[in-house]
Structure 1
Amino acid sequence: MEETISLKEIFDLLRKHISTILISMFAGLAIAAVATFFIITPTYSARAQLIVTLPQSDSTASNSNLNDVNYNLQMLNTYKDIIKEGDALSTEVHNRLKANYDLDMTAAAIKENLEVTQSENSQMFSISATSDKATDAKNIANTAAEVFQDTLKDVLNNVDKVTIISKATTSTTPVSPNNKLNLAIGLVLGLMVGVGLAFIFELLDRTIKDQKYVTDALGFTLLGAVPEMTAKDLKPNKAVRKEMVQQQEKESDAPRRRSRV
């Protein structure tokens, strides 16, 4: 016959092992805090915003203007490939970083640190850079934007102008790790581990817990049971104590009376 467990039994089980669950939660929180504040290296991000202007169509019709806008949006994918995939741009960024900021990064590392994001339905896009130093992230993003501005006309003949709308600035707030998220994850994982340990301890506990276990699991007939008594129940009340004292006095007086006789 399958055994079922009710919600009340689950709550009773969790209440019984509440200390284990709390210890596990605080342990998970402590591990997450140590990893977040002392082990994981903070990462900083900076971005420069640009816009590329293409030659306008000679036609003044509205459909021609719409086609120009759609064409500009499609060209953003080409700009992304030039920045992320092109070796010429990353090599020039490497040379300028080393010459101007004494920052020696390989072309492959520069590609990995750069990210191109496009504003929705806009011709403006951003070049973002990440680094474990906020100043390096700013210098990488600005240098990549400047190299893109200087070299795009050599790559594409149909470009009219490349404008840097805003340069990257130094941000003192790291984008990674997310302190609050990591602490919350550590707390939740600690809670899950604690609940799991509670069920494991309960399964490994083979002691007799109630009368039902004796009759159902062991198949024995229950002849009697001693009720659970609290410390207060074990203490005799005043009437019982008085009767015990009187009884002790009678027992102590009995030998005296016999000796007098």
Structure 2
Amino acid sequence: MEKTYTVKQLLDMLVKHLQLILTTMFAGLAIAGVLTFFIITPKYSSQAQLVVTLPQTENTNVNDVNSNLQMINTYKDFIVSDLVLNQVQEQLASKYKIEMKPKEIEDAISVEQNQNSQMFSIIAKSPKSVDAAHIANTVAKTFQDNAKDVLNVDRITIISNAVAESSPVSPNKKLFLAAGLILGILCGIVGALLLELMDRTVKDSAFITEELGLTLLGTVPEISDKEINANIKKAHKMVDGGLKPKIGQKDATTTEARRRRSRV
């Protein structure tokens, strides 16, 4: 038999295990903080912007312009070709002492095109901001030197050289901390619900009648420790009050005892 829970019952479960939820929340935040500030290596981004123009003729029309835009995909493939990457590898090693393999250079760069524009950007990412700028500029210059002959383009203009940025683009510290906080809360909620579902102790009369199918004959009210201590003190007072004689009775008993001794 499947048991359903009301929203109030679920909230009561969460409140009951509030300490667990808070613990996992701060633990998730702490783990995210350690990963963000001490483990994950920050990366810096730099971009160089270029414009490529095809040879112009007297019969140049809209179709030629569209063809020029479509050529951007060809430029992207050419930038990551062995011809360009091998030259970039050599120049980075000789000029800037940056040792990278062609595959590593390919993974470090990306090409983005503005919508319906002949302008595109070569973006490089590296753990060092200066290296990112050197990589982007070297790739852009190497592409410029080779594309005129290989792709038969009229003019390649680097309109913006890459510069070293002071702030890393990854990891996103605020996003990581927020994600750690949320995951910590979710883990706490799941843990609280699992503890409640795995707890098979009898908590109310509904468990006896609904889960076990037994008849409820009666209930014993729950008494708090404070009430128990108060009742014990009250009982002690009643017992002490019944055993101790009153002052008049004590004096009469003492006098009678003295009379018996004098007779003897």
TM-score (normalised: structure 2): 0.86
Q: Pick from 99, 103, 111: which aligns with 2:94?
A: 99
Mark the runs of 5 or more structure 2 residues left unpaired by the alignment: 257-264
Asked if 1 retains the 8 angstrom alpha-carbon contact of 2:51 and 2:118, the reply is yes
Taking a change above 3 Å as real, the CA distance of residues 40 and 162 of structure 1, as seen in their structure-2 partners, is same
How much does 1:152 deviate? 1.1
Sequence identity percentage? 47
CA spacing shift, 1:2–1:93, aligned 2, 3 Å: closer
In structure 1, the residue matched to 2:174 is 180
Q: Distance in 2 between matches of 1:212 and 1:76?
A: 71
Which of residues 121, 145, 160 is equivalent to 2:140?
A: 145
Q: Does 1:8 align with 2:4?
A: no
Which residue is 1:256 aligned to?
Answer: 250
Q: Supply the AA of the counterpart residue of 2:135.
A: I
**TM norm structure 1:** 0.87
Larger radius of gyration: 2
Count of residue pairs the alignment pairs up: 251
Code of the residue aligned with 1:198 in structure 2: it is A
Aligned twin of 2:261: none
The correspondence for 1:198, drawn from 185, 192, 207, is 192
Name the aligned partner's letter for residue 189 of structure 1. L
Distance 1:105 1:133 in 2: 13
Contact 1:49 1:126 in 2 (8 A): yes
- Give the Cα separation in 2 of the matches to 1:35 and 1:246: 66
Select which of 122, 127, 133 maps to 1:127: 122
**8 A Cα contact 1:42 1:132, kept in partner:** yes
Q: CA deviation at 1:214?
A: 3.2
Q: Which residue of 1 aligns with 2:159?
A: 165
Q: What is the letter of the counterpart of residue 210 of structure 1?
A: D
Supply the AA of the counterpart residue of 2:25: M
Unaligned ranges ≥5, structure 1 = none
Q: What is the Cα-based RMSD across aligned positions, in Å?
A: 2.4
Aligned counterpart, 2:68: 72
CA distance in 1, matches of 2:111, 2:196: 54
1:19 corresponding residue in structure 2:
19
Q: What is the CA distance between 1:52 and its match in structure 2?
A: 0.9
Query: Which position in structure 1 is the counterpart of 2:260?
Result: none
CA distance in 2, matches of 1:220, 1:32: 52
SS at match of 1:170: coil
Task: Deviation per CA, 1:192-221: give whole Å up to 9, x if none.
Answer: 111111111112223221222233334253
